[in-house]
Chain A
């Protein structure tokens, strides 16, 4: 056990900020905690099994008292990337960007350019939805088989991050049982879009990731 602790100690120095805030919360200095900081990304089969659901969460660890004033930034584009031919380059994108209290959605569509810089695919507006206010029932719109939501939700991520920090710091040798969810009681700003699988490749395996991009 002592050897393990030593190994972990070396690991902590080498990795420096192992699990700083897990999933992707506050993952890097340039974005930490800001309005482009992606906290989490999910992709799963919908209630309608012919559909896939994409979730992007931003701005982690919002307390109930700060959630009401949290907003999406109009200069930040959230882009779901979909690779359908296994080269890890996006063949399709779904873009979400807010304007005047609404979230606008474009795609799925082949992007004009792949990579780090994006233009909004204004030729492919597929939906828009009022950004749900904190404390209100979720506003949902549908169009062409797609469903759209944007607004504050409970952070679905769960982990005993505090105890992990203690382990890494050398103050503990393992997790507690039961553990304590560091993310309990906190909110995120969520963008949820559900899309027919037929629009994103139909069958097989896709590779997907989410990006935030600033104008």
Chain B
């Protein structure tokens, strides 16, 4: 039995090698079409900036990346809330952020890691007027998140922690496609 398996394996190996050789044969006209077959299995995902890095404990980071957004709230909201309360004094004693969200509400929003995008107008993470209508390249998303984490009801709490004082990219973005600046 064992021997048969080995022979079978050998036959399979040889046939696979043969297949690979013919695939690389330039005389074969069919080889021009790229092979897109197969199943692709998730490794990483991202919606809003910094959510996994900020709120997910080390042991959970890989799991979070392979939990579908529709399942993330049930699996992670309470952990996010505990981490937020441990991290920021702004939410102690029922405190809220400038959006009027307490710790449970804010982490309820963040745990489902999708980016909300408006198809009807300005797209920005936060510009003082529009909230979570997209994410533009120039949006200072880290300061927005620091303000929401540490800044309290009116963005005035913990001022040394609520702005990293880096307000813009080191290169100017393009006004037209592909929008991102050329590489350094």
Contact = CB atoms under 8 A, between A and B. Distances in A.
B68 interface: yes
B98 interface: no
Interface stretch (B1-9, B10-18, B44-52): B44-52
A1 to B, nearest CB: 9
Contact of B66 (A116, A156, A202): A116
Given A18-B87, A154-B169, A164-B164, A38 B64 contact: no
A215 interface: yes
Contact of B166 (A62, A158, A192, A194): A158
A204 B167 CA distance: 30
Contact of A120 (B40, B51, B137, B160): B40
Nearest to A58: B44
Interface string A69-80: 000000011010
B70 A88 contact: yes
A211 B44 contact: yes
Nearest to B65: A28
A170 interface: no
Contacts of A83: 69, 114
6 contacts: A11-B83, A22-B50, A30-B44, A30-B62, A67-B183, A203-B119
A38 B53 contact: no
B162 to A, nearest CB: 9
A169 interface: no
A31 B43 contact: yes
A64 B183 contact: yes
Interface residues of A, number: 110
B184 A208 contact: no
B183 A159 contact: no
A22 B66 CA distance: 19
Nearest to B68: A115
A19 B52 CA distance: 9
Interface string B50-92: 1111111110011011101110000000000011001111000
A192 B114 contact: no
B163 interface: yes
A177 B143 CA distance: 13
Contacts of B62: 28-31
Contacts, number: 310
Nearest to B177: A147
Interface string B157-184: 0111101111111110101111111111
Nearest to A118: B40
A118 B134 CA distance: 25
6 closest A-B pairs by beta carbon, nearest first, are A174-B160, A11-B87, A28-B61, A213-B40, A179-B165, A99-B34
A119 B70 contact: no
Contacts of A88: 68-70, 112, 114
A192 B115 contact: no
Contact of A207 (B44, B116, B123): B116
A143 interface: no
A208 B86 contact: no
B169 A156 contact: yes
A18 B50 CA distance: 9
A175 B50 contact: no
B50 A104 contact: no
B101 to A, nearest CB: 18
Contacts of B113: 209
B40 A117 contact: yes
Nearest to A207: B114
Interface in A146-172: 147, 149, 152-154, 156-160, 163-164, 167
